[in-house]
Amino acid sequence: MSATDAPPSSFDFTAPLGPPRPVKSHPAPTRIAFCASDKPEAELARDRLVARYGSVPEAEAEVIVALGGDGFMLETLHANMERRTPVFGMNRGSVGFLMNDYDEAGLLERLAAAGRAVSHPLQMDARDIAGTLHTGLSINEVSLLRQTRQSAKLRISVDGMVRLEELTCDGCMVATPAGSTAYNLSAHGPIIPLGARMLALTPISAFRPRRWRGALLPHRAKVAFEILEADKRPVSAVADTLEVRNVVRVDVRERRDVSLTMLFDEGRSFEERVLAEQFTV
């Protein structure tokens, strides 16, 4: 069943993009799909919740409850990208930055009162040394990484204008606001509020120019990476689960026409988590 064939739903999270907020006026969903990572604790939680609340196939669901960690949350969002079904994560993994606390009781009430966070993925178009074009979507970031002991050399253009003639580095990435607290933050990139409509261009262990720390770009910016000395200094490009080896050029842009909705417990919005992360010491 496609998204257009699905029964009409009163549990509507397809409103235009805005700041996350509690959705108190909606009734609790009646069609819930439960999915779990392959961890035993996640599978056990799924079985218990299905026994308590029932379950429908993901294609028929008004909301999907994902049980696992942040990686599984991203997998679930990817799997339902075309249907745009909102996903409510409950932590049965490790970090759980994108997840809500696990609690079997009161789930319907939590879903009815949940706030939403809408993000848009990046599209990566990567051409390899053989001339083949590979396209993929990424929720967090598109990253370029050196493949060997030698550093990568990249030329970076933004909207068709060369902004950095040569960056010698371990790699570089373009991160979405939703992904700015993940790999981007580990590489000392900026944290971006979800509604900021910006992208982070962040180097990974830059050697030359040593003091370049990256840039904040408008969300409409189109970023192009040209790999210099690609034969001698091979580079791979990664968009979530898609990795392309030996690339010679990578183009990155935001797909504003694709929306991904994550649901969060009332009072624990994604925006609040991002804000709090900036004061973590």
Handedness of CA 107, 109, 115, 119 (dihedral sign): positive
Contact 70, 98 (CB under 8 A): yes
- Per the residue annotation, which of 47, 70, 251, 265 is the catalytic one? 70
Alpha-carbon distance of 29 to 20, in angstroms, equals 19
**Cα maximum dimension of the chain:** 60
113: helix, coil or strand?
helix
Structure tokens at 35: 């999915």
Active site residue 101: no
Contact 44, 221 (CB under 8 A): no
N-term to C-term CA, the chain: 47
Q: How buried is 251 (Cβ within 10 angstroms: 0-12 exposed, 13-18 middle, 19+ buried)?
A: middle
Nearest to 107 by CA among 70, 65, 59, 61: 65
Q: Which helix (H) or strand (E) holds 71?
A: helix 70-79
Q: Which residues contact 108 (CB under 8 A, 6 or more apart)?
A: 28, 29, 53
List strand residue ranges (DSSP E) for 129-195, in order: 133-138, 141-146, 152-158, 161-169, 171-175
Alpha-carbon distance of 48 to 134, in angstroms, equals 41
Contact 42, 68 (CB under 8 A): yes
Catalytic center residues: 70
